[in-house]
Structure 1
Amino acid sequence: MTYAPIRTLPRRRVLPVGESRSLWRSRPSCGIFEFRGMRLQIAVEDPTEVLFPTDCGLSLIAALNGDDAPDLNGVNALDIGAGSGLYSVVLLAAGAERVTALDINPASAAQTVANVVTNGLDATRLTCVTSPLEEYTPDGRFDLVITNPPHLPYDPAYARGDGLETALVAREGGRAMYDAVVERMDTVLAPGGILLMAHSSLADIPRTVAQLTGRGYEMDTLEIFEMDIPLLAYSEQKDTMLGLLKERQAAGQADFDGSRFSVHALMFRRPLDATGR
């Protein structure tokens, strides 16, 4: 098995403890951020139905402002777990030819369209699909896939069954969506295409890296962000959730310190097929 080289010293950005300062200029239901010289805005009508993006999701966008970021102009892209449309907005603003916003939450489609329109972008270049990733069959494969999977472990004590849970909580110890992305990647990503992922250290980063590099994908870490575990929405169940995370930490499947964890902005490139295409 051949592993692609990984940069030993990726840039690390430490975000302040607490809610008051973050990558957002304002929050929690309407935020403004800058991306490649553009001022963009994301809003959610009902934060219990569609999660307002956290710093975990926004960190990947911040990393894409760096010198090592791929060119997004002209790509045909898939936004997995589109939520409010944060990544779809960024992709279209950066010149993507087409964006497909995929989410299991039916409320995501309307919110994504609304945010695309609010930012003055061409909504005809956007397609919204409501479906689990496991059941999604695209017409063709994409040049670029971008995702920020849910990364908190599931427990019946705090099961909610709403848009907030689908955006943050995943079964299989928080790994369910990561595993689905890995399993489906060869189906949705074209040879030579790029997968961009905001990967939480709470959900076994080495496992994802090993799975994809084992298939020949080249991997690079664009940037690492250190921040608070998003426990605010689960304050009453904080001890339960931290207990589950500590179990995973003891098994070597999670990495965090107290209430602080890291998000790695990862870029994987799928190898070309045997014909070089």
Structure 2
Amino acid sequence: MTHAPTNVLTRKRVLPSGGNGSLWAARPTYGIFEFRGRQLRIEVTDPTEVLFPTDCGLSLVAALDGEHSLDLQGVRALDIGCGSGLYTVALLAAGAAHVTALDINGASEAETTANVERNGLDVGRLSCVTADLATYTPDRKFDLVVTNPPHLPYDPSYATDNGLETALVAGRNGRALYDAVVARVDDLLAPGGRMIMAHSSLADVPRTITELERRGYEWRALEVCEMDIPLLAYAEHKETMLGILEAQRALGSADFEGERFTVHALEFRRSSAAETV
């Protein structure tokens, strides 16, 4: 059992249940959001192949648009699990010099490119890569890595083998991509670089923080947002999924109440002491 780090934020942004108060202006096949003074639109062609971003993903955009906003001008960024291109669009709109949009789902390339073009952004500042993070080898390291890993537990009863599962489900404990990101972060970040992660409380937030601290990373929580567990796509198997999550909660690796959970917008940065070792 892992124990929560002492400096996790306790103040939360609470989204009402049932979709009221959603961070999106419209959904589920398109949405409009404002980021740093600019209205941006995200669309998806088929939500079963490329997931329309949930509030879990958009909460990270909201955190980066708030009081903890970071300077994104001129950065070279990697968007891990880009999906429809939500973060890629936001980063390019905020002045990123270049964004590499990485996803294991081959359908994400067309959706991300279309959303970049739809918002009048320069596709010359975009590279799309279809690859598994474990085998991905970048040409150079990045100033910024942004990711919202899938976080729901796998079970054969509701396995679908489509883009929806790729976006939401990640191994029996929901940590497959979190663990992959932790394993690769040193290979991806340039010295002084930052990783911004939307981390679900269903997938052991303290474990990720502890493992990155051991690797020499300092961290801070930008925001914590409470919302519904995204069970709509798994309504038929809701009880099975909740049963798995309850077992993980008993082990101390999941944190939720009823059908509500939290998403932690976290920033990780290699400490100056670690960089000189």
Task: Tell me the TM-score normalized by structure 1.
Answer: 0.95
Shift of 1:68: 1.9
Could you give the per-residue CA deviations for residues 182-241 of structure 1, whole angstroms, max 9, x where no partner exists? 000000111210000000000000000000011111100000000000000000000000
In the alignment, residue 135 of structure 1 is paired with which amino acid? T
Matches within 5 A, 1:45-84: 45-84=45-84
Could you give the per-residue CA deviations for residues 119-155 of structure 1, whole angstroms, max 9, x where no partner exists? 0000000000000000100011100000000000000
Q: Is the 8 A contact 1:41 1:115 kept in 2?
A: yes
Q: Is the 8 A contact 1:11 1:222 kept in 2?
A: no
In the alignment, residue 201 of structure 1 is paired with which amino acid? S
Matched, 1:248 2:248: yes
In the alignment, residue 158 of structure 1 is paired with which amino acid? Y
Matched, 1:268 2:268: yes
Q: Is the 8 A contact 2:155 2:172 kept in 1?
A: no
1:100 alignment partner in structure 2? 100
Matched, 1:186 2:186: yes
What is the alpha-carbon distance in structure 1 between the residues aligned to residue 126 and residue 62 of structure 2?
22
Give the secondary structure class of the aligned counterpart of 2:262: strand
Could you give the per-residue CA deviations for residues 75-130 of structure 1, whole angstroms, max 9, x where no partner exists? 00000000000000000000000100000000000000000000000000000000
What is the alpha-carbon distance in structure 2 between the residues aligned to residue 73 and residue 273 of structure 1?
26
**Worse-matched range after superposition: 60-69 or 230-239:** 60-69
- Give 4+ residue runs of structure 1 displaced > 6 Å after superposition: none
Unaligned segments of structure 2, at least 5 residues: none
1:227 alignment partner in structure 2? 227
In the alignment, residue 125 of structure 1 is paired with which amino acid? R
In the alignment, residue 12 of structure 2 is paired with which amino acid? R
Q: Is the 8 A contact 2:76 2:144 kept in 1?
A: yes
Shift of 1:252: 0.1
Unaligned segments of structure 1, at least 5 residues: none
1:43 alignment partner in structure 2? 43
2:162 alignment partner in structure 1? 162
What is the alpha-carbon distance in structure 2 between the residues aligned to residue 197 and residue 172 of structure 1?
21
What is the alpha-carbon distance in structure 1 between the residues aligned to residue 254 and residue 274 of structure 2?
36
Shift of 1:65: 1.1
What is the alpha-carbon distance in structure 2 between the residues aligned to residue 265 and residue 8 of structure 1?
11
Matches within 5 A, 1:143-154: 143-154=143-154
Q: CA RMSD in A?
A: 1.5
The aligned length equals: 273
In the alignment, residue 190 of structure 1 is paired with which amino acid? A
